[in-house]
């Protein structure tokens, strides 16, 4: 009897590291099938291109493909909304743009962007700016402001969608300068690039996915929205240099449905963090003057709560709150 007990004890001791590892690395061998990653903007733009590289890297870490699906429209909030009807098993993930935190203030919804998303990891943020066609008579930011003041509501500008960061930040700029602009929303950077290069709008507010258009001589950069000038556009002043106390880099990351098991969230976090550190992802970001912008799951959750509060103030300031 004693010998049998010793054998059982030895077997249990041998198994305990495996059990511990199993408990830490994700229940039921997660993942055992491909993972969907919903992207808020169309294929071909900077978000799509950089997130596909990240997904490819993460898939190699996880041992299962991370398949990107583009869900453009609704100001970049469709992926987050789809999480609300997805199983909390870690197999459906979504990009969470800043516009998600504005949604309850502008639209009637039955879910909470802070409580009803499991925040996995923040991965990067955008570099933004305002551009005009290269043949435009508007050569500088001073020209832009002068034209807008002389022609209220006639200066048309495009953005990647209503209530996105480019839209709201441009409206905040206009409010501070006392000018009125004509906003034309598009579904993403690829559509917007076609419109501005074709002369269908007078200006565009976008992430620096417009860099190829600048390099091709099709558009001119009037300003950028970071804390410092961008290395790729050293002649373009920041909004701060132009006397506007505005910095916008719109961090975004990855979320899962509420109720996703913590060990699955941890497994996803670790895989995407390693994917962020790969040179291929850093290089993909650099094409658009973007950089890795890491936040852990807990830090990203706190960011979500803080941003939810600050975005309310911005929406109210611009008079865009939904009717009560």
pTM greater than 0.85: no
Q: What is the pLDDT along the chain (324 residues), one digit of tens a residue?
A: 334 433 343 344 343 333 333 334 445 699 999 999 999 999 988 899 999 999 999 999 999 999 999 999 888 899 999 999 999 999 999 999 999 999 999 888 999 999 999 999 999 999 899 999 999 999 999 999 999 999 999 999 999 888 889 999 999 999 999 999 999 999 888 899 999 999 999 999 998 878 889 999 999 999 999 999 998 899 999 999 999 999 998 999 999 999 999 999 999 999 999 999 999 999 999 988 899 999 999 999 999 999 999 889 888 888 888 765
Q: What is the DSSP string of 263-322?
A: HHHHHHHHHHHHHHTSHHHHHHHHTTT--EEEE-HHHHHHHHHHHHHHHHHHHHHTT-PP
pLDDT of 73 reads: 85
What residues contact 194, with CB distance under 8 A and at least 6 apart?
A: none
List, in order of start, the domains of the chain with CATH numbers.
22-126+250-317 (3.40.190.150), 128-224 (3.40.190.10)
pLDDT of 69 reads: 98
Distances (CA, A) of 224 to 40, 105, 107, 113: 23, 27, 29, 29
The tokens for 305 are 């709560």
pLDDT of 211 reads: 87
What residues contact 46, with CB distance under 8 A and at least 6 apart?
A: 126, 189, 207, 208, 209, 287, 288, 290
Residue 64 backbone phi and psi in degrees, to 5: -140, 145
């Amino acid at each position: 009897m004693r010998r049998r007990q010793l054998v059982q004890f030895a077997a249990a001791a041998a198994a305990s590291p495996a059990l511990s590892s199993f408990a830490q690395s994700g229940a039921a061998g997660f993942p055992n099938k491909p993972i969907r990653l919903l992207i808020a903007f169309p294929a071909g733009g900077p978000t799509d291109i950089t997130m596909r590289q990240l997904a490819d890297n993460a898939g190699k870490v996880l041992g299962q493909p991370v398949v990107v699906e583009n869900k453009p429209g609704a100001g970049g909030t469709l992926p987050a909304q789809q999480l609300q009807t997805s199983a909390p098993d870690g197999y459906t993930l979504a990009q969470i743009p800043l516009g998600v935190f504005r949604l309850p203030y502008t639209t009637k919804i039955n879910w909470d962007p802070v409580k009803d998303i499991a925040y996995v990891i923040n991965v990067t943020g955008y570099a933004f700016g305002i551009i005009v066609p290269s043949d435009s008579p508007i050569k500088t930011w001073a020209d832009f402001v002068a034209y807008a003041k002389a022609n209220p509501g006639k200066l048309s500008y495009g953005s990647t969608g209503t209530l996105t960061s480019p839209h709201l930040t441009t409206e905040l700029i206009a409010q501070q300068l006392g000018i009125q602009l004509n906003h034309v929303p598009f579904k993403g950077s690829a559509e917007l690039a076609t419109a501005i290069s074709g002369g269908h709008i007078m200006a565009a507010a976008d992430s620096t996915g417009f860099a190829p258009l600048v390099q091709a001589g099709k558009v001119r950069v009037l300003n950028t929205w970071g804390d410092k000038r961008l290395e790729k556009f050293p002649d373009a002043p920041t909004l701060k240099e132009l006397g506007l106390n505005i910095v916008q880099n719109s961090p975004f990351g990855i979320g899962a449905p509420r109720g996703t098991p913590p060990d699955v969230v941890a497994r996803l976090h670790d895989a995407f963090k390693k994917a962020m550190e790969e040179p291929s992802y850093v290089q993909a970001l650099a094409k658009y003057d973007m950089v890795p912008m890491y936040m852990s799951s807990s830090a990203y959750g706190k960011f979500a709560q803080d941003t939810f509060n600050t975005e309310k103030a911005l929406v109210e300031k611009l008079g865009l709150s939904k009717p009560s």
